[in-house]
Structures are given as structure tokens and as C-alpha cells.
Amino acid sequence: MMNEAGKFLMLVGILFVAVGALIWSGIGKGWLGHLPGDIHFSKGNFSFHFPLMTCILLSLLLTIILWLFRR
């Protein structure tokens, strides 16, 4: 049981590092957080941004990846 948990944590860590490196390098800078359905509200000197569709897309992608690792 502990062996499987260790492998899972290593894969998740590698995935986080890879995604972080891609975002840091600028890939995804044009669309990430600017999808249709992302909420952006600004009035005067107040601005609120909530990337709803981006969160849903990333959740779906991570769910599929984790589902594939469990098979």
C-alpha cells in the first residue's frame, strides 16, 4: 500500500513541476485565465478576476490523467 502511495506522490510532484515549468516559460500565457466563461469584473480602482472555465478545464484534465494512472 505504501509503495503505491509513494509512486502516486512522485507522479503528482513531477506533473506539478512540469506544468509549473510550462506556465513559467510562457506557454499558455495567451489563453490561460482568459477563456470564455472566466469572470472578470472591474469598476473604478477595484478589479476581480475568477478563472472559472480555466479551473473546470484543469480539473477535467487532471481527473482524466489520474483516472488513466489508476487503470
Its pTM surpasses 0.95: no
Domain that holds residue 50: 35-71
**Is residue 19 in some structural domain?**
no
Cβ-contact 52, 39 below 8 angstroms: yes
d(CA 45, CA 71): 50
**According to the model, what pLDDT value does residue 11 have?**
82
pLDDT at 63 over 80: yes
Cβ-contact 54, 35 below 8 angstroms: yes
| Span 2-9, average pLDDT | 78
**Is residue 18 in some structural domain?**
no
**According to the model, what pLDDT value does residue 1 have?**
55
**Is residue 10 in some structural domain?**
no
Top-confidence residue, 41 or 23: 41
Number of domains in the chain: 1
Top-confidence residue, 48 or 4: 48
d(CA 31, CA 40): 14
